[in-house]
Protein backbone atom coordinates (compact mmCIF):
# COMPACT_ATOMS: atom_id res chain seq x y z
CA UNK A 1 0.00 0.00 0.00
CA UNK A 2 1.15 3.53 -0.82
CA UNK A 3 0.05 6.33 1.54
CA UNK A 4 0.65 10.04 2.03
CA UNK A 5 -0.88 13.08 3.71
CA UNK A 6 -0.95 16.44 1.95
CA UNK A 7 -2.87 19.54 3.08
CA UNK A 8 -4.80 17.54 5.67
CA UNK A 9 -5.95 14.86 3.22
CA UNK A 10 -4.71 11.28 3.53
CA UNK A 11 -4.44 9.25 0.32
CA UNK A 12 -4.00 5.44 0.42
CA UNK A 13 -3.58 3.38 -2.75
CA UNK A 14 -3.60 -0.35 -3.49
CA UNK A 15 -2.96 -1.67 -7.00
CA UNK A 16 -3.50 -4.98 -8.72
CA UNK A 17 -2.67 -6.45 -12.13
CA UNK A 18 -5.85 -7.75 -13.80
CA UNK A 19 -4.77 -10.74 -15.88
CA UNK A 20 -8.35 -11.59 -16.94
CA UNK A 21 -8.69 -8.21 -18.68
CA UNK A 22 -5.16 -8.13 -20.12
CA UNK A 23 -3.90 -9.31 -23.48
CA UNK A 24 -0.11 -9.36 -23.13
CA UNK A 25 0.42 -10.81 -26.60
CA UNK A 26 -1.35 -7.72 -28.00
CA UNK A 27 0.42 -5.24 -25.72
CA UNK A 28 -2.52 -4.61 -23.40
CA UNK A 29 -1.92 -4.77 -19.64
CA UNK A 30 -4.80 -3.84 -17.34
CA UNK A 31 -4.33 -2.64 -13.77
CA UNK A 32 -6.90 -1.75 -11.14
CA UNK A 33 -6.38 0.57 -8.22
CA UNK A 34 -8.31 1.24 -5.03
CA UNK A 35 -8.00 4.70 -3.49
CA UNK A 36 -9.07 5.79 0.00
CA UNK A 37 -9.28 9.53 0.66
CA UNK A 38 -9.59 10.59 4.32
CA UNK A 39 -10.11 14.16 5.49
CA UNK A 40 -7.78 14.57 8.49
CA UNK A 41 -8.31 18.35 8.67
CA UNK A 42 -10.65 20.31 10.93
CA UNK A 43 -12.90 21.56 8.12
CA UNK A 44 -15.20 20.10 5.45
CA UNK A 45 -13.79 19.77 1.92
CA UNK A 46 -15.06 18.82 -1.51
CA UNK A 47 -13.02 17.02 -4.17
CA UNK A 48 -13.70 18.90 -7.41
CA UNK A 49 -11.05 17.78 -9.95
CA UNK A 50 -8.38 15.21 -10.66
CA UNK A 51 -5.17 15.24 -12.69
CA UNK A 52 -3.15 12.14 -13.60
CA UNK A 53 0.29 11.68 -15.16
CA UNK A 54 0.55 8.12 -16.48
CA UNK A 55 3.96 6.80 -17.55
CA UNK A 56 4.20 3.58 -19.57
CA UNK A 57 7.59 1.86 -19.81
CA UNK A 58 7.23 1.91 -23.60
CA UNK A 59 8.26 5.55 -23.01
CA UNK A 60 4.83 7.00 -23.60
CA UNK A 61 3.37 9.55 -21.25
CA UNK A 62 -0.33 10.38 -20.92
CA UNK A 63 -2.09 13.09 -19.01
CA UNK A 64 -5.70 12.98 -18.00
CA UNK A 65 -7.83 15.38 -16.01
CA UNK A 66 -11.47 15.85 -15.25
CA UNK A 67 -14.23 16.68 -12.84
CA UNK A 68 -14.28 14.67 -9.60
CA UNK A 69 -13.54 10.96 -9.48
CA UNK A 70 -15.66 8.10 -10.88
CA UNK A 71 -18.46 10.54 -11.63
CA UNK A 72 -18.57 11.97 -8.12
CA UNK A 73 -17.42 15.12 -6.33
CA UNK A 74 -17.47 13.84 -2.75
CA UNK A 75 -17.85 16.15 0.23
CA UNK A 76 -15.83 15.00 3.24
CA UNK A 77 -16.40 16.26 6.77
CA UNK A 78 -13.47 15.98 9.22
CA UNK A 79 -12.41 12.32 9.67
CA UNK A 80 -14.72 11.16 6.86
CA UNK A 81 -13.43 8.75 4.21
CA UNK A 82 -14.31 8.24 0.54
CA UNK A 83 -13.16 5.17 -1.39
CA UNK A 84 -13.30 4.24 -5.05
CA UNK A 85 -11.94 1.78 -7.60
CA UNK A 86 -10.69 2.55 -11.08
CA UNK A 87 -8.29 1.19 -13.64
CA UNK A 88 -5.58 1.93 -16.14
CA UNK A 89 -4.44 0.12 -19.26
CA UNK A 90 -0.78 0.18 -20.29
CA UNK A 91 0.93 -0.92 -23.50
CA UNK A 92 3.74 -2.56 -21.53
CA UNK A 93 4.09 -4.63 -18.38
CA UNK A 94 5.12 -1.76 -16.12
CA UNK A 95 4.61 1.92 -15.52
CA UNK A 96 3.37 4.29 -12.87
CA UNK A 97 0.75 6.92 -12.08
CA UNK A 98 0.86 10.08 -10.00
CA UNK A 99 -0.99 13.35 -9.89
CA UNK A 100 -3.16 15.51 -7.70
CA UNK A 101 -6.72 16.17 -6.62
CA UNK A 102 -8.14 19.66 -6.37
CA UNK A 103 -10.24 20.28 -3.28
CA UNK A 104 -12.27 23.22 -2.03
CA UNK A 105 -12.60 24.22 1.61
CA UNK A 106 -16.41 24.48 1.92
CA UNK A 107 -16.20 27.25 4.54
CA UNK A 108 -13.74 29.62 2.83
CA UNK A 109 -14.19 28.42 -0.79
CA UNK A 110 -10.40 28.28 -0.96
CA UNK A 111 -9.14 25.83 -3.59
CA UNK A 112 -6.10 23.66 -2.81
CA UNK A 113 -4.24 20.71 -4.32
CA UNK A 114 -3.50 17.37 -2.72
CA UNK A 115 -0.66 15.37 -4.19
CA UNK A 116 -1.38 11.77 -5.15
CA UNK A 117 1.80 9.81 -4.47
CA UNK A 118 3.44 7.90 -7.29
CA UNK A 119 2.34 4.29 -7.44
CA UNK A 120 3.75 1.53 -9.57
CA UNK A 121 1.80 -0.57 -12.06
CA UNK A 122 3.86 -3.74 -12.57
CA UNK A 123 2.95 -7.22 -13.76
CA UNK A 124 3.97 -9.47 -10.82
CA UNK A 125 6.10 -11.79 -12.97
CA UNK A 126 8.23 -8.80 -13.93
CA UNK A 127 9.46 -8.60 -10.32
CA UNK A 128 10.85 -12.16 -10.34
Residues 107-120: tens digit of each pLDDT: 999 999 999 999 99
- Concatenate the DSSP letters of all residues of 100-118 into one string: EEEEEETTT--EEEEEEEE
Fold of the CATH domain 2-127: Immunoglobulin-like (2.60.40)
Q: Tell me what pLDDT residue 1 has.
A: 87
Of 112, 118, 121, which Cα lies nearest the Cα of 4? 118
In this predicted structure, the answer to whether residue 126 has a pLDDT above a threshold of 90 is no
Amino acid sequence: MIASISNGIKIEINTQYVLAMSKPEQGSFMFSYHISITNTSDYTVQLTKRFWRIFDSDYSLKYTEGVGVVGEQPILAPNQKFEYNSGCSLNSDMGYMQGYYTFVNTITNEEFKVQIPRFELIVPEKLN
